[in-house]
Amino acid sequence: MWILPCADITAKRGGFMRRLDFTRTGVSWKNKAREQTSMKVVQTSAAPAAIGPYSQAFISGGFVFTSGQIPITIGTGEVMGATITEQAKQAIENLAAVLKAANSDLGRVVKTTCFLVNMDDFGAFNAVYEKYFTGKPARSTVAVKQLPRGVLVEIEAVAEVAGDRH
């Protein structure tokens, strides 16, 4: 008995991607023969450079996946501000610069992951966050013990790339 009347699941089998279609007559594999999406590295001087062996972002499948952005200023490379309000603002502005380089923006963000050193900063962080993310994307916020450079906040995002709407 199948309970999935209209499911379309992509799975990896035999080294390449295939689409699995559930039908009333059973299950069939349709070859997606090498329909692999190409990936593109995003690099911009309008945001702080990665401070480790990773990229600022990648574009794949019509979406941009950013690395976490911390409140570093571009000109000096120093941490911007001492409060969660100042740092959240700078981290979001850095994130916006990376998204712009990927032909996206904060309005196209579908998911963020936010890291806070202190959950007591949650309210002040939300006050800044809601001014920038007016579309209310999905979000996870977690408390962490420590972040790079001793900052209070780090934000990463997944966003739709302009012109790639499906």
Mean pLDDT of the chain: 84
Percent of the residues in the chain that have a pLDDT greater than 90, as a whole number: 71
Residue 101 and residue 10: Cα distance in Å, rounded? 30
- pLDDT tens digits for 15-31? 444 444 444 444 443 43
- pLDDT tens digits for 43-84? 999 999 988 899 999 999 999 999 999 999 998 999 999 999
Distance of CA 45 to the CA centre of its chain: 19
* pLDDT confidence tier of residue 164, bands split at 50, 70 and 90: low
Which residues does 76 contact at the CB level (< 8 Å), separation at least 6? none
What pLDDT, on the 0 to 100 scale, is given for residue 78? 96
- pLDDT tens digits for 85-139? 999 999 999 999 999 999 999 999 999 999 999 999 999 999 999 999 999 999 9
Which of the two residues, 116 and 36, has the higher pLDDT score? 116
Angle among Cα 81, 123, 56 to the nearest 5 degrees reads 50
Which of the two residues, 7 and 39, has the higher pLDDT score? 39
What pLDDT, on the 0 to 100 scale, is given for residue 37? 59
* pLDDT confidence tier of residue 32, bands split at 50, 70 and 90: very low
What are the φ/ψ torsions at residue 64 (nearest 5 degrees)? -110, 135
What pLDDT, on the 0 to 100 scale, is given for residue 163? 82
pTM over 0.95: no
Q: β-strands 8-13, 153-160: how paired?
A: unpaired
Domains of the chain: 1-36 (no CATH), 39-160 (3.30.1330.40)
What pLDDT, on the 0 to 100 scale, is given for residue 50? 87
